[in-house]
Structure 1
């Protein structure tokens, strides 16, 4: 190590030597050495003196050398700390086991092998996947095998240079507080790699069981319980184009369509196989709409197909595009799809003779309030949670323990849970349920857009507009939100946004909600993230929040109007309100914010 240049910063110098001593991968070790040789002190500071934060979403970061990035050493360190926490909290984990899955990204398979190696060194039984798999397979296996924990190596729809580490608890839902805090603490107490931890070829095979085929088979079999019209499905002339967005969804989609007696999906050839480079898309996220679905639309047009179903790369999300009579493609928002799903699933309740008094639908607080509107009219219950499927999954578990039926859960970011066999968003089950609904509508000479209009006529116009600004500077983000909290310069929240009067404000960062008698919110408070919700006097609701995984300041707006108002009138007023929110709250020029790419 004599070649290492000393920077005069003892903390940094020590970390450089520590990294080279601990990291046994030539590529990442050489990456640090090269930064040293190039005198790149600033980059070394960012990589070695900062550490990825382990949160309720686990880890997600760019791959590369250093403690602030995803690599073999940080995977080992994370799992060492997590393993020690497992043994403390779930002492039977050695018998009950942990399920490990991985997506098709660069390094995901090897990272999953690193996880298995660490756990088996602690004599913990692991259920592994020998093949890339959809993220829903992991929470499914946690429940079906009675595991204490699940780990999925994935970065979902993030750019190709990212990877992540997602954790599930024994209830089949993503972890929530305080697990993340305790795991994070345990990681910091177990940073030095254990003896023999780097030897992947020495993983104890007696402790490792490959459950990929078993999981695949049982998962598909369980989907059959969601199918109600097998004969109708087999006779349809409706066609479906499918894209996996260079991800892992296609094998499961094929089998899911088969068990529903649906016509074979038409694949977007360039995108159905795993490609960690995401060669054909700038952002591998079908939520981006037409910009991500150009090839799918081309394939559909070539095959005289009017419906596109799109998974994201780890197949836990689902998007829909539908060709209209005028030849234009309509990309449905998550809120629009949520409305269609709940309408459809609620009509199935009579078929299954389910008591509506024990039925629940769940949505996150930034998702459309039409879920509550449908639940009230159709006589079942609605529960609202914080943003993120970790909250909805845990709420679903809580309700199931009370003997309740969870009909549906969704978030506006095209995440849908149509079965409580998976207590997380699931793009495979969502695809076949939606396909069956589309076939049924076609028999009535309706498409999804027309059915959506019927839903709005019955339950009221609910128009949502969601978007975001990009900001990489945490100080700017904090200032933006604090300026709103100190809108008058005297420590008070705003009473108006432009000409629009604000009736209620809920601040889940500081714990304030003036719609409640004691000014305290019902939903959990988290000081580690920014989240403000405004309820306007005209019925519009707007939420501003930061993302836990991306450098975005998001806004979610919805105008919930009574039945009878024209959609055009409601839409125009909502657009005016959004302009006011951007002008008065975001102030993009002043705060140097980058608008969402078109």
Structure 2
């Protein structure tokens, strides 16, 4: 190994390789646990692929808000490959074994989506869990993430693994790790599992076919499908079903959940959009090959088709069908102009729909509650207050925190949960966002509005008039590689220590720092302790109430996210066209100020 190690040292001296990458490379070249990858690493060194080696070795791929996610490459501590996926499964198994202590009959549910190597990683994870003594319940076909959450609860598993990278590019894959509640792992389990993953030396696996033959892997696809459909259909409300729906799974798994559910709910006119129907990890017919329903571009072609067939609504779910995107005609004329909704708008419309239907049925009380994250629109809170129910909204980003509230506050009183990144949930059947049930509820709303000759956009405008015009945007500051990580840390420090004094000409009144849990009054510099969750996020509250910016590093991608929230009072929102212009200008000005601040401090 001396020659490859010397070459690595020389590459660092020649500035072809970062110091952190060289340290991780040394481990993969010298430590016995990486012996199976040594030849490939040496081959890369001999062919002087320094940029690639730096990319895949400069850090150790972390666990974020959605598990361990990243770009696939056969080698590397900062890539998704057999080693990093294997460490994840082995670390999970080791922790559950230690946590259970009595080593009773342990079990794990596993599912996967249409991404490249998802089935391969599924077999790898299943074999590792079996070797550790677990019974594995396998959804052995492409299935949605909420169906995995449901399966964990149905089969009373100790944990679960979903192999998916959600809406990331085709180059990526990941594992999402679930606890016995059916929610993604929370503190203290998440940190403890990470410790086990990071300290993993040996990975032990049982050959997949052998584990199936022995009964240690049991295929439960049909059982879970039937039970999930029954449970999901119970979340429906009665009412009109005369709506023509165009649905696109964006080349993912959603058709297996959405289409049966809409049929069960009585929707007869549901069309699967053909160009996106193929199950493919390349996402071939989606702009940029990124199947993200937050991206307006993915709706362009489906909207064209919807106009031609007179559809009332276009629904899109991401590859693992836990997120929902929506587009609808601005008026009741399907041949006219269409517009998409962002996650905050969908959250607000679904909250109003579910709460109003529950209120009409007499099944709401002051003990009932809705749940949202800190970066989800406050319009949801105002809607909840209008219906005299609680809103739990001081949560960090991640649907697992919404799931935690459901179990803490009581599932019987839970009404609706949402996050701005297009995740929604009702009911008690699972503990993760569910794109299929969200499709069902949105279709019901479309049919109800059609029966009243009202468009979905008019419905949203009614909410703005009642509660004030709300407008939000998300700014992504990409910071890739080792230099990007350092830039992210510098920028977060700048926001904490020397934040901007004003944005869009409005004074910054206070800074909420969820890392140190302190609230700072900008005018006086007075610092007070602050209740709430602890995490790496800062909120800049402007002097104009309802206007603020939340800043946080992404838990799944190399970027800082800036969530910008603006609002006008109901009195200022009587003319929605004027309100739209005013807040659009305000958002543009805030974005300009924030980008300038970031450029100066990154």
Normalised by the size of structure 1, how large is the TM-score?
A: 0.89
Q: For 2:328, what is the secondary structure of its paired residue?
A: strand
2:42 aligned with 1:37: no
Q: Distance in 2 between matches of 1:557 and 1:76?
A: 38
> Paired residue for 1:294?
300
Deviation at 1:30, TM superposition (A): 6.3
Of residues 480, 505, 524, the one that matches 2:511 is 505
> Paired residue for 1:455?
463
C-alpha distance 23-164 of structure 1, shift in aligned 2 (>3 A): farther
Which is further off, 109-118 or 13-22? Answer: 13-22
2:176 aligned with 1:166: yes
Unaligned runs of 5+ in 2: 10-21
Cα root mean square deviation, aligned: 2.7
In the alignment, is the contact (CA less than 8 A) between 1:244 and 1:250 conserved in 2?
yes
Q: Distance in 1 between matches of 2:504 and 2:114?
A: 47
Of residues 140, 149, 153, the one that matches 2:159 is 149
Q: Distance in 1 between matches of 2:32 and 2:4?
A: 10
2:450 aligned with 1:442: yes
Count residues in correspondence.
Answer: 575
> What do the CA deviations read for 1:87-127 (whole angstroms, capped 9, x no partner)?
11134675241111111101111111111111111211111
1:51-70 residue pairs with structure 2 within 5 A? 51-64=60-73, 65-70=75-80
Q: Distance in 1 between matches of 2:435 and 2:25?
A: 47
In the alignment, is the contact (CA less than 8 A) between 1:55 and 1:180 conserved in 2?
no
Q: Distance in 2 between matches of 1:239 and 1:592?
A: 50
Q: For 2:371, what is the secondary structure of its paired residue?
A: strand
Q: Distance in 2 between matches of 1:439 and 1:558?
A: 30
> Paired residue for 1:138?
148
Which is further off, 407-416 or 44-53? Answer: 44-53
2:489 aligned with 1:483: no
Q: Distance in 2 between matches of 1:309 and 1:93?
A: 45
Which is further off, 278-287 or 414-423? Answer: 278-287
2:391 aligned with 1:382: yes
Of residues 194, 200, 203, the one that matches 1:193 is 203
Q: For 1:320, what is the secondary structure of its paired residue?
A: strand
> What do the CA deviations read for 1:182-230 (whole angstroms, capped 9, x no partner)?
1121123322233xx2733332632221111111111111122122226
Displaced runs of 4+ in structure 1, greater than 4 A? Answer: 1-6, 8-14, 18-24, 28-31, 515-518
In the alignment, is the contact (CA less than 8 A) between 1:159 and 1:283 conserved in 2?
yes
Which is further off, 28-37 or 139-148? Answer: 28-37
Q: For 1:287, what is the secondary structure of its paired residue?
A: coil
> Paired residue for 2:247?
242
C-alpha distance 192-7 of structure 1, shift in aligned 2 (>3 A): farther
C-alpha distance 589-380 of structure 1, shift in aligned 2 (>3 A): closer
Q: Distance in 2 between matches of 1:4 and 1:203?
A: 39
Q: Distance in 1 between matches of 2:158 and 2:24?
A: 38
> Paired residue for 1:255?
260
C-alpha distance 541-12 of structure 1, shift in aligned 2 (>3 A): closer
> What do the CA deviations read for 1:57-101 (whole angstroms, capped 9, x no partner)?
320011112222111122222221221100111346752411111
> Paired residue for 1:370?
379
> What do the CA deviations read for 1:374-433 (whole angstroms, capped 9, x no partner)?
1112111110112221111111111126xx411101011111112221221110000011
> Paired residue for 1:15?
27
In the alignment, is the contact (CA less than 8 A) between 2:28 and 2:34 conserved in 1?
no
Q: For 1:273, what is the secondary structure of its paired residue?
A: coil
> What do the CA deviations read for 1:311-358 (whole angstroms, capped 9, x no partner)?
011100001101234722210111111111011101221454324122
Unaligned runs of 5+ in 1: 488-492, 594-598
Of residues 275, 286, 293, the one that matches 2:280 is 275
> Paired residue for 2:540?
533
Deviation at 1:513, TM superposition (A): 1.7
Q: Distance in 2 between matches of 1:310 and 1:93?
A: 43
Q: Distance in 2 between matches of 1:425 and 1:111?
A: 23
Q: Distance in 1 between matches of 2:76 and 2:146?
A: 30
Q: For 2:190, what is the secondary structure of its paired residue?
A: helix
> Paired residue for 2:404?
394
Q: Distance in 2 between matches of 1:23 and 1:405?
A: 53
Deviation at 1:266, TM superposition (A): 1.1
> Paired residue for 1:338?
347
Normalised by the size of structure 2, how large is the TM-score?
A: 0.89
In the alignment, is the contact (CA less than 8 A) between 2:494 and 2:601 conserved in 1?
no
Of residues 469, 472, 477, the one that matches 1:469 is 477
C-alpha distance 557-49 of structure 1, shift in aligned 2 (>3 A): closer
Of residues 217, 221, 237, the one that matches 1:228 is 237
> What do the CA deviations read for 1:225-247 (whole angstroms, capped 9, x no partner)?
122226x32xx2x2111110110
Q: For 2:454, what is the secondary structure of its paired residue?
A: coil
> Paired residue for 2:560?
553
Q: Distance in 2 between matches of 1:515 and 1:167?
A: 39
Which is further off, 112-121 or 495-504? Answer: 495-504
Q: Distance in 1 between matches of 2:97 and 2:33?
A: 28
Of residues 287, 290, 294, the one that matches 1:284 is 290
In the alignment, is the contact (CA less than 8 A) between 1:172 and 1:423 conserved in 2?
yes
